[in-house]
Amino acid sequence: MAKLEAASTAYLAQTMRVLSNWGCLLVSGDLGKANVMTIGWGLAGPLWGRTFFIVAVRPSRYTYMFIEKNGDFTVNVPSRDMEKIVDYCGSVSGRDHDKFKESGLTIVSSKKVTSPIIYECVVHFECKVEYATDVEPRGLPTDVITECYPHGDYHRLYFGEVLATYADEDAAEHLPT
């Protein structure tokens, strides 16, 4: 299936909907060694005259060290037949599992960043980290701390400039509904 280049803001609505309802696949690393994790949170839009995709990663996550080392990541929007894979990639750590192999996911080279994309996904954002900030407990609402940070491990928010966006020709037919 041909993957066609798209504007950096194209597919943001569908991506936000899939993020909220299913999750998307965040990949960082390189073709030799990478990790994939499922994310349910993320924000996107224009900033500093560019388009950014912000992802939130806890320091305890295996992905954290990949992003810290490589300084880039890809966000991959699954097709509607990948629900179990998305669940699985959010339930085990890449420290103990080769999630790509176990899930039958193929990583292929990105166009602009080191981190690969997942070929089976239907929409892809290649992002270069241009800024990061750690979530600080002071200033956070108490219920967010209770619900999301009972053990600390506050997220680092990575501001990834979207350097390339592309999608399967027939992405609209295969995105989760």
Taking a C-beta distance cutoff of 8 angstroms, is the pair 28, 135 a contact? no
Task: Using CB under 8 A, pick the residue from 27, 37, 44, 127 that binds its own copies.
Answer: 44
**Residues that contact its own copies, how many (by CB under 8 A):** 34
Shortest Å, Cβ 100 to its own copies: 25
Q: Which of residues 115-144 bind its own copies (CB under 8 A)?
A: 130-133, 135-136, 139-141, 144
DSSP E strands in the chain: the ranges are: 3-5, 24-29, 34-39, 43-47, 50-57, 72-77, 107-108, 117-118, 123-134, 156-168
Task: Using CB under 8 A, pick the residue from 1, 4, 5, 9 that binds its own copies.
Answer: 9
Nearer to its own copies, 41 or 88 (CB): 41
Shortest Å, Cβ 124 to its own copies: 17
Nearer to its own copies, 9 or 109 (CB): 9
Please enumerate in sequence order all residues whose Cβ is within 8 A of that of 87, keeping only pairs 6 or more positions apart, or say none: 23, 38
Please enumerate in sequence order all residues whose Cβ is within 8 A of that of 97, keeping only pairs 6 or more positions apart, or say none: none
Exposed (0-12), middle (13-18) or buried (19+): which is 116, by Cβ within 10 Å? buried
Which residue in this structure is represented by tokens 């192999």? 101
Residues 49-88: x where in contact with its own copies by CB under 8 A, - otherwise, as a string:
x-xx-x-x--------------------------------
Shortest Å, Cβ 43 to its own copies: 4
Please enumerate in sequence order all residues whose Cβ is within 8 A of that of 45, keeping only pairs 6 or more positions apart, or say none: 9, 12, 51, 52
Q: Does 160 bind its own copies (CB under 8 A)?
A: no
Residues contributing to the site for its own copies (CB under 8 A): 9, 12-14, 16-17, 19-20, 40-49, 51-52, 54, 56, 130-133, 135-136, 139-141, 144, 147-148
